[in-house]
Amino acid sequence: MKKNYLLALLSAFLLWLAWPPVPYTAPLLWVAFVPILLALESVMRSNYRKKGAKVFLLAGLMGLVWNTASIYWVFNAMNAVMPIYAAMFVALIPFGLAAVLMAFAFRLYYQLRKRYAIGWSLAGLACFWIAYEYLHQTWDLAFPWMTLGNGFANTHQLVQWYEYSGVYGGTVWILAVNIALFLAILSARDGFAPVRRYSLLATAGTLIILPSAWSLWRYSTYEERENPSNIVVVQPNIDPYGKFGPIPPAEQIENLIRLSESVAQPNTEFFIWPETAIAAPDGYNEEEFLRHPFFLRIQDFLTHYKNGNLLSGIESYLIYSGPETPTAREFSGIYYDAFNAAILVENSAKLQYYHKSKLVPGVEQTPFGGALAFMKPLFKAFGGTTGGYGRQDKPSVFYSQSGIGAAPVICYESIWGDYVAQYIEQGAQFIAVITNDGWWGDTSGKDQHLAYAKLRAIETRRWVARSANTGISAFINQRGDVVQRTEWWVPAALKQDINLNEEITYYVKAGDYLAYAGCAGSLVFALLALSTRWKRRNQ
């Protein structure tokens, strides 16, 4: 078994080395699963007892090491505000949960292999993996950070076809190439005729070359339609752990305005400030903000720009007469919802709000309601709430007075390709990602988050204007190129003429259809696998 564990660790190492933000290594994903598949094959052909348990442990080890090495920054962020024992406990959820789900996918694959041919079993494995990824982006503990297709974020020139498939196309691509290579090695080991091995190697080569070649052609020939709009993104660089400390909110607003004016032009149409840029310890009442001095100061600033709009993050709340929403909290007989929100301010007495929908498990919502209520105090220190934020069910687009549609995507939401696509369906002509990213410190978390935004640009063929509190702020064009970016932990402002786009890509129209197909396939294969086990128990 020692050799098999080493093979599992080799797969974990290759997956980590291929993962953003490491540059130029993404092609390793095409071979990263071959060692673990060989290790599992060795177990299946052995005389070991409890083979299913060994398969589960090997796959779980690979997933745990890969996840922990790639998203170690989760622990860093938690440890900054929690005792080390609490931070370790909380970090185990993203480190270990995905690993357990991966292990289940491989365990079901083993169950299929007991009765069905290896080809059908590997097709089942691909479906089980896709189903795991889809579950991990839809349930209360959603964390689709490690979806396989995200691995090409730093080699986006090879995945321009994501405009048709989204990141699940990348997942299918990676799994298909690995399976073909694994079968080629297996055929050589088992003494099959060389023609079979060469055929499988040719299949793997074709799977790599054709999509890559088409993508490079698409990348080199893609041209944006001229439809310019001048945008400014601001990075105030306020320590998130001291946001409500020594710097008064009014001073923070003045700093944001000063940075905006430092690069603005008379024709600037959008100023974009980061997540919770407009904040106070108790937030702002959305129904009263029109009369707040900060609103009047912002409007005074915008009067210098004929078509100027401010799109900013804001901590807000709404007061109700009763428990009108599932997240409403009661205080002294008054019910209210607190929101991590975005606001659009223009040169009129009109405000538009968007309430963040994809909430961070634990920090912004307690997963599975009352079952994990005991963890609420742990997350309060991490900028969350003990009652959970309110949310809206679907995205909404901000429209300026001149008719430009902007997608207000708040932080964590930029990881969901299908969710961002819904903004585009509603008419968004560019994507505004507002985020903090200071919670993680100077780790790879901020770099991964930026890299994933490039995939949203490709899927939707929209510019991304990214405003991050402490970095990295950037402009990303419709091919996924980072055209401008700031450095980490410096106050900065960037301006850019972007091209607005109204065309709808196939992915925006179809959504995560590959995930739906994979989930449907996983149900069929799971029934086959479990029925085999049931029959054996009842013979």
318-359 pLDDT, tens per residue? 999 888 888 888 888 899 999 999 999 998 889 999 999 998
Q: b/e string for 74-106 if b means 16 or more Cβ within 10 A?
A: bbbbbbebbeeebbeebbebbbebbbebbbbbb
Predicted local confidence at residue 382, as pLDDT:
45
> If you average pLDDT over residues 140-156, what whole number do you get?
95
Got the DSSP string for 383-419?
T--SS-----SS---EE-TT--EEEEEEGGGGG-HHH
Residue 473 tokens read as 């702020």
Residues 431 and 398 sit within 8 Å (Cβ to Cβ): no
369-391 pLDDT, tens per residue? 554 444 445 444 444 444 579 99
> If you average pLDDT over residues 10-31, what whole number do you get?
97
pLDDT higher at 89 or 467: 467
Which strand (E) or helix (H) includes residue 355?
strand 351-355
Provide the CA 368 distance to its chain's centre, in angstroms.
Answer: 21
Backbone phi, then psi, for 418, in 5-degree steps? -70, -30
> If you average pLDDT over residues 66-79, what whole number do you get?
88
Predicted local confidence at residue 386, as pLDDT:
44
Tokens 């585009």 identify what position?
424
On the question of pLDDT at 289 being above 60, the answer is yes
Local confidence band at 60 (pLDDT 50, 70, 90 cut-offs)? very high
Distance, CA of 211 to CA of 17 (rounded, Å): 22
Local confidence band at 536 (pLDDT 50, 70, 90 cut-offs)? low
Predicted local confidence at residue 376, as pLDDT:
47
Predicted local confidence at residue 504, as pLDDT:
98
Distance, CA of 241 to CA of 438 (rounded, Å): 9
Output helix, strand, coil percentages for the chain, rounded to the nearest 5: 50, 15, 30
Helices (runs of H) and strands (runs of E) counted in the chain: 16, 14
Predicted local confidence at residue 385, as pLDDT:
44
Predicted local confidence at residue 450, as pLDDT:
98
